[in-house]
Structure 1
Amino acid sequence: MKRSILLLIALTFLLISNVYAQEDSVRLDSAVKTRAKTIKLKEVGIVEKGKPVSRTSISVTLSEKQLQQTKGSGLAETIKEIPGVSILKTGSTISKPVIEGMHGNRILILNNEIRLEAQQWGLEHAPEIDPFLAKRIHVIKGAESVRYGAEAIGGVIIVEPPALPTSGGISGGLNLIGASNGRSGTSSAMLNGGLKSLPGFGWRMQGTLKRSGNVHSAEYYLGNTGVRELNYSAAAGYHTGKASYEVYYSRFGTELGILYSAHVGTKEDIDARISIGRPLENYGFAYNITAPRQKVVHDLFKAKAHYDFSNQLSLAITYGFQKNQRKEYDFRRGDREALPITDLVLNTHTLDLVFEKQETSGSKRLYGFNGIVQVNNNIPGTLANTFIPNYDGVTGGVFVIQRWVKDDFEFEGGLRYDFKLFDAVGYRYASDGEQYYGGQSRFHNVTGSFGTLWKIDEQWQLGSNLGLAWRAPTANELFSNGLHHGAGLYEIGDPNIKTEQGYKWVNSLKYYEGKLNFTLDAYAQYINNYIYSEPDKTFKQTVSGTYPTFRYKQTDASFLGADFSGTYRFSELLSYKLNAALIRARDLDNRKYLPYIPSDRVGQSIRLDFQLKNFGDTWLQAGHSFVRRQTRYELESDYAVPPGAYHHFQLSGGTAMKIGNQELSFNLSVDNLFNTLYKEYMNRYRYYTHDMGRNITIRLAYKF
């Protein structure tokens, strides 16, 4: 392990030396190229960061205005309207984003430039991110492992906060959200400021408080589905002519209930629940959260320094530390009730170094190093078998990316080498004593990416991106053998699982014209040694109940699909929008369909934008979405057939009012307008229950 780490460090310094050799003739005291644009607003200077997504990446960006219309939702719910993005749900309270069929550890999430490192292998482990902090969210659909590292095999989600102020004054905002389903209330506030006596210094504070009770399907309450959430963050930075420095800290804390109906006593009970497709018990509304439940706290610290050596060369160093503590509680007898059945603490250190060489032509070259050190421990005292073992992980990667820019054409290519050391030690109680398992594994891989952007004319634009990516198997895929508590499943891993290797080609055709704008993305992805969890049609009896059994398997797989998004503006007031996504996935080794692949879906809306006296932008929107029944599955391969197709209707509207230099905005939305009783195929609790019924949400936002 030491030799591998030393090799990575040596390669990094070799790249650094190469950069300095090319810049020997450049005077370090030359005029510094302005790398950010300063905008003065109410005496507060805001440094506009460069867009953190390459123009040759196939990506979609949600603006601050778009995010305002989904405030109060989790990360997955916030981005689900993007074509090709869907949700993997565990009940009605836990959601994970799915990008063109990929989810979990195949999606890399960056929170304020730090890759989110938590227990993301769990289907019921939602990303520990507060979307209220985001000014923009970027979703990259290609395999972007060269720039962002392993596990970006299915895409990248970048949560970008507002830039820190650089001059005196205070600004901020307050958001208040109330929702009828779950009778939830959410409040979030943010303050930004600087010091007139210290130009270049800025600070930000932010916090969110949320509480929700049992949610309701179209016909009944879902027992024990409440949520409590408390999040806060603080940041400070200092900008000079050549350098900038920033520190950031955030805490995400949540406690949520796990659906009672997913934890069943006997096989006969579970057969009955699956047969009827809904809970056998009747529950009322309550804010109480009892076992089974989860309690998660995620701390993140970031320190970043950026320095411009000249108008051509810059260096960015970013260090991150994350502590993720997850406790899961189940039904237990006597004095064990207060003890968690699972108590995991994951500590992660990350270090990113990026050298950027900018050419006067607009071309540039990036040299980078990414390092990760992780320690995951099961905290003693649970008096239960551990679901995953203790493990240590060390990962390092070096990369180089070259970008060329011409008048109507851009090209970007990159190469990367990664090495990962994974050392696991676990034990289980058995009739013949403790059984130890685990071992040390080494993984390494070379990946690449190649992207082009061709501006055909003023209306047409064609982009293409080819990415080679990989990821090492996770601890649960290798070693799990027990109750996956939150998912309500008994999972069995395979220690012989190998590294996944993916090849993804995405092409994007865009058309811009006065009335008509559209984007068509088409993709093909081949994954060697694709890892997935498959129901084996048996049940496992444990002390706490009976659960369906899922086993991890591996095969070669193909994914083909297309995403479409188009808008037609009839006039300045009236517009129509259409989104559609379809995907076809196959197990190539066994010539069959893969389980848990999003079904085809189409969404459309008609929107009216107008102005009212004394008000700003005012809008009304009616929407409809259709989700087709998933017919591409193997007969008798699951505990229940995929649910039927369903239609959803939505109504929403909003307005804003200026009060001097301040703004007050109002937003009202009604989801599942006709209170449809339905099930989503990508919900792991569809065996026992239906999805959420009608939900009316009111959002108030005040900016100053």
Structure 2
Amino acid sequence: MKGRIFDADTKLPMSGVSVTLSPSNRQTMTDGHGYFSFRELCAGSVEITVSSLGYTDEKRHLQLTSNQTINFQLTHSDVVLHDVEVIGHAPTQRSTAKIISLSEQQMDESRGENLAQALSKIAGVSTLNTGSNIAKPVINGMHSNRVLIMNNGIRQEGQQWGAEHAPEIDPFTAKKLSVVKGAESVRYGADAIGGVVLVDPAPMPIDKTLGGELHAVGASNGRSGTFSGTLEGNIKKWNNLAWRAQGTYKKAGSIKTANYYLGNTGVNEIDFSTALSYNTPIAKFDAYYSHYDTELGIFTGAHIGTLEDIQAIIDNGRPFLTYDFSYDIASPRQRVKHDLAKLKAHHDFANGASLDVQYAFQRDHRQEYDIRRGDRDAIPSLNLQLTTQSMDISYDHLKSNGLRTIVGTSHIMQVNNNIPGTLTIPIIPNYDSYTGGIYGIERLVKNHYELEAGLRYDYKYFDAAGYRLDLNNPTGTEENYGQELYGGTRTFHNITGSLGAVWHPNAKWDLRSNLGLAWRPPSANELYSSGLHHGAALYEIGDDQLQSERSYKWVNSAHYEDEKWRFDIDLYGQYIHDYIYAQPSSGEFIQTVRGTFPVFRYEQSNARFWGLDLNAQYQINTQLNYHVNAAMVRAKNVSDGTYLPYIPSDRVTHGLRWEVPATNQEGTTRWTSPFIQVDHQYVARQSRYEPESDYAAPPAAYHLFNAVAGIKYKANSAHTLGMSLGVDNLTNTLYKDYMNRFRYYTHEMGRNITLRIQYIF
């Protein structure tokens, strides 16, 4: 037996509706397109009950004789709950890979943090930092071009090749943040070697005239203030037209370690986004636009002219100069603007299939300002503009026998330009890039198991042209070297595949295994970089003969949940053929007017990664919960047996959360969800490194204590006020982290008290 459920008023399919059969008491839920099905039913009389919060239950008596199709239309109940949304065309889970999402509680307690900081609450996810306000997500030891970010269903395309280039995303636009730990190149294309980050907004409102959220976040360290607001609703004249407008403003000043300020570490940020959605019973049309604009100060002491200066400050362990608090942002600094626009059409067919067509346009404008002589500080040393257009088409057919077929194609066109006038030689050349891919996935879904297989083919054309220093031709010019034209055309293509299985032996256990073949063509900087990377303080030289990386990743996961226990454990292994990395060039340095810098050259070798992630919770009693997060990763250069740089060290976070009772003498109150949580984090010293490959040995292990408390006030059914007060680094510990690229001459942030206020209406 199968069927579909619609909203009687909007005629839209309804997801997440409970469907129950009696007397067998079998139960299922409708998928994102409103479909449900029961298999292996015996002939006879049954009663089917359909129920959803805010709707009147629908019951029917049936006499089963053969496979039947039955549809329902649910009507709103007499008591309308305004905070209940009916969502049509919601995306359904389409993968056997392990996908982990931040809980609603974790999302609330992450407001005001950047994307990488929020995601680091997931086991196996850490951050690669450049100072105190630039962070990139690291999944199982991989980051940058090996981690693909899907922003509202669009591949986020910026200058992500830089270790100090943070994702241009405002986390306030997201209702859900998730991480896919498998190698998901079949679904998402090249670059998904390390994993995928999914940034998903809330579903568009269907029956809400006006609503929204307001957020205010204040932090003591940096004296920062963040304000974000969202308004959304539908237009009465056109009941199926929904809209949303959102904006964020953030300002922060100098960050303070346990006992000194870091000069020039402020942030100014203004972001906004708008969305429209039009629904019909068989189709949905979406339009979305977002603008991200941030200015980031880079710690002044990171600009070091000579090797002697570097060694002196490393030996000192902290900056020689002292700084006062300031909101001013001077050079060195970054200014980044990112625009994203998309149009999407979704169509449901009568046979249960659906078609999605999506076009997106992105423009990323990155400017980096260096400390320069005279009045040239106002001229960017790096001025890059990347324009990306993409088209994605997918066809998804869920059949009554449990088979699901997904086929699709994707195309990307990119143009990267160095805007003239920097008075420097660009680190990467201008380039054009064209990518096309086609894929197919077949999935079998049964009551106790799921099987999946996928195959994809991608082709990439890359054409670059630019000028660089001719290191073999000194001319006595300001940069001491002549210039030469360089670049060329490269093509890359590869077949990728995936095999996955899920077994549900009973209601408590969920076992997964996924084997993925992924690939990544070398990026522009790895092929052609030739110049000073100002933010990294390195002179980087690419290799235009580099080959594509090919990855084999196997992830095995187990999930268990009962009344007391809940735990997830992931064990993974990954082999990367032709792994690309930047290697110090055996004592080679180059002198420019901005100082002396070490030369790093891009090389390839085979690499091996493996590790273990653990997340567990134990419900001690109805009020007290113990939780633990732990991760370890091991990585080696297989070709010569050496350790790879910038691999996260072992870490564990655990703590207690007390859900405080909130009742008055009558047993009811508008104050709800009060809690107190205390955490302890331990990060081990990274002992697996090559001493000759770094300026200084990894820092010592450290312990941090954090605490947070919060409560909510429910004014009525539609208005809720939430408040929380948190303290990070409670003991004001002075420490350094191996994954911070400024650890040579600074410490991490000291104590930080954060007040978060949320108003939902």
Q: TM-score, normalised by structure 2?
A: 0.86
**In the alignment, structure 1 residue 647 sits paired with structure 2 residue 708:** no
Cα distance change of structure 1 residues 389 and 110 upon mapping to structure 2, 3 Å threshold:
same
**In the alignment, structure 1 residue 260 sits paired with structure 2 residue 300:** yes
- The one-letter amino acid of 1:669's match is G
Aligned partner of 2:447 in structure 1 is: 407
- Provide the C-alpha distance between the structure 1 equivalents of 2:119 and 2:616, rounded to a whole number of angstroms: 17
Mean alpha-carbon deviation: is it higher for 585-594 or for 609-618?
609-618
Cα distance change of structure 1 residues 163 and 499 upon mapping to structure 2, 3 Å threshold:
same
Q: Which of 463, 487, 492 is the matching residue for 1:438?
A: 487
Q: Tell me the C-alpha RMSD between the 2 structures.
A: 1.7
- The one-letter amino acid of 2:744's match is Y
> For each residue in 1:576-595, what CA deviation from the matched residue of structure 2 results, as whole angstroms up to 9, or x when unmatched?
00111111111000011111
**In the alignment, structure 1 residue 592 sits paired with structure 2 residue 642:** yes
Q: Secondary structure at the match of 1:169?
A: coil
Could you tell me whether the CA contact under 8 Å between 1:200 and 1:238 is conserved in 2?
A: yes
Aligned partner of 1:692 in structure 2 is: 749
> For each residue in 1:103-159, what CA deviation from the matched residue of structure 2 results, as whole angstroms up to 9, or x when unmatched?
000100011001100000000000000100111111000000001110001100000
**In the alignment, structure 1 residue 567 sits paired with structure 2 residue 617:** yes
- Provide the C-alpha distance between the structure 1 equivalents of 2:324 and 2:367, rounded to a whole number of angstroms: 26
Could you tell me whether the CA contact under 8 Å between 1:44 and 1:193 is conserved in 2?
A: no
Aligned partner of 2:124 in structure 1 is: 84
**In the alignment, structure 1 residue 353 sits paired with structure 2 residue 402:** no
Aligned partner of 2:530 in structure 1 is: 481
Aligned partner of 1:151 in structure 2 is: 191
- The one-letter amino acid of 1:569's match is Q
Aligned partner of 2:723 in structure 1 is: 666
**In the alignment, structure 1 residue 297 sits paired with structure 2 residue 346:** no
- The one-letter amino acid of 2:490's match is S
Aligned partner of 2:426 in structure 1 is: 386
Instruction: Describe how 1:249-648 pairs up with structure 2 within 5 A.
Output: 249-429=289-469, 431=474, 433-536=482-585, 538=587, 539-613=589-663, 614-648=670-704
Cα distance change of structure 1 residues 53 and 639 upon mapping to structure 2, 3 Å threshold:
farther
> For each residue in 1:534-553, what CA deviation from the matched residue of structure 2 results, as whole angstroms up to 9, or x when unmatched?
33464443212233433322
- Provide the C-alpha distance between the structure 2 equivalents of 1:593 and 1:120, rounded to a whole number of angstroms: 24
Deviation of the 1:198 alpha carbon: 1.0
Q: Which of 52, 75, 82 is the matching residue for 2:115?
A: 75
Q: Which structure has the larger Rg?
A: 2
- Provide the C-alpha distance between the structure 1 equivalents of 2:439 and 2:653, rounded to a whole number of angstroms: 39
Deviation of the 1:52 alpha carbon: 5.4
Aligned partner of 1:94 in structure 2 is: 134
Deviation of the 1:275 alpha carbon: 1.6
Mean alpha-carbon deviation: is it higher for 158-167 or for 180-189?
158-167
- Provide the C-alpha distance between the structure 2 equivalents of 1:217 and 1:208, rounded to a whole number of angstroms: 27
Mean alpha-carbon deviation: is it higher for 167-176 or for 67-76?
167-176
Aligned partner of 2:739 in structure 1 is: 682
Could you tell me whether the CA contact under 8 Å between 1:471 and 1:501 is conserved in 2?
A: yes
Deviation of the 1:36 alpha carbon: 4.4
Could you tell me whether the CA contact under 8 Å between 1:556 and 1:588 is conserved in 2?
A: yes
Could you tell me whether the CA contact under 8 Å between 1:39 and 1:45 is conserved in 2?
A: no
Cα distance change of structure 1 residues 212 and 474 upon mapping to structure 2, 3 Å threshold:
same
Could you tell me whether the CA contact under 8 Å between 2:127 and 2:138 is conserved in 1?
A: yes
- The one-letter amino acid of 1:618's match is P
Could you tell me whether the CA contact under 8 Å between 1:658 and 1:664 is conserved in 2?
A: yes
Aligned partner of 1:21 in structure 2 is: none
Q: Secondary structure at the match of 2:255?
A: coil
- Provide the C-alpha distance between the structure 2 equivalents of 1:505 and 1:605, rounded to a whole number of angstroms: 31
Q: For structure 1, which runs of at least 5 residues remain unmatched after alignment?
A: 1-30
Aligned partner of 2:21 in structure 1 is: none
- The one-letter amino acid of 1:633's match is Y
Q: For structure 2, which runs of at least 5 residues remain unmatched after alignment?
A: 1-10, 15-31, 35-51, 55-80, 476-481, 664-669
- Provide the C-alpha distance between the structure 1 equivalents of 2:208 and 2:555, rounded to a whole number of angstroms: 45
> For each residue in 1:150-171, what CA deviation from the matched residue of structure 2 results, as whole angstroms up to 9, or x when unmatched?
0001100000001111235101
- The one-letter amino acid of 2:264's match is N
- Provide the C-alpha distance between the structure 2 equivalents of 1:228 and 1:427, rounded to a whole number of angstroms: 33
Q: Secondary structure at the match of 1:105?
A: helix
Deviation of the 1:268 alpha carbon: 1.9
Q: Which of 165, 180, 187 is the matching residue for 1:125?
A: 165
- The one-letter amino acid of 1:472's match is P
- Provide the C-alpha distance between the structure 1 equivalents of 2:239 and 2:519, rounded to a whole number of angstroms: 45
Deviation of the 1:39 alpha carbon: 7.4
**In the alignment, structure 1 residue 236 sits paired with structure 2 residue 286:** no
Considering Cα pairs closer than 8 Å and 6+ residues apart, tell me whether 1 or 2 has the greater RCO. Answer: 1
- Provide the C-alpha distance between the structure 1 equivalents of 2:208 and 2:679, rounded to a whole number of angstroms: 43
Could you tell me whether the CA contact under 8 Å between 2:89 and 2:284 is conserved in 1?
A: no
Could you tell me whether the CA contact under 8 Å between 1:536 and 1:637 is conserved in 2?
A: no
> For each residue in 1:254-278, what CA deviation from the matched residue of structure 2 results, as whole angstroms up to 9, or x when unmatched?
0011111111123221220122221
Number of aligned positions between the proteins: 674
- Provide the C-alpha distance between the structure 1 equivalents of 2:288 and 2:746, rounded to a whole number of angstroms: 41
Could you tell me whether the CA contact under 8 Å between 1:536 and 1:638 is conserved in 2?
A: no
Could you tell me whether the CA contact under 8 Å between 1:44 and 1:166 is conserved in 2?
A: no
- Provide the C-alpha distance between the structure 1 equivalents of 2:607 and 2:453, rounded to a whole number of angstroms: 26
Deviation of the 1:653 alpha carbon: 1.1
Cα distance change of structure 1 residues 554 and 629 upon mapping to structure 2, 3 Å threshold:
same
Could you tell me whether the CA contact under 8 Å between 2:244 and 2:274 is conserved in 1?
A: yes
- Provide the C-alpha distance between the structure 1 equivalents of 2:92 and 2:523, rounded to a whole number of angstroms: 28
Deviation of the 1:480 alpha carbon: 1.4
Could you tell me whether the CA contact under 8 Å between 2:12 and 2:88 is conserved in 1?
A: no
- Provide the C-alpha distance between the structure 1 equivalents of 2:330 and 2:450, rounded to a whole number of angstroms: 55
Q: Secondary structure at the match of 1:275?
A: helix
Deviation of the 1:428 alpha carbon: 2.3
Q: TM-score, normalised by structure 1?
A: 0.93
- The one-letter amino acid of 2:317's match is G
Deviation of the 1:293 alpha carbon: 0.6
Deviation of the 1:62 alpha carbon: 1.4
> For each residue in 1:468-505, what CA deviation from the matched residue of structure 2 results, as whole angstroms up to 9, or x when unmatched?
00011011111112221112222222222210000000
Aligned partner of 2:106 in structure 1 is: 66
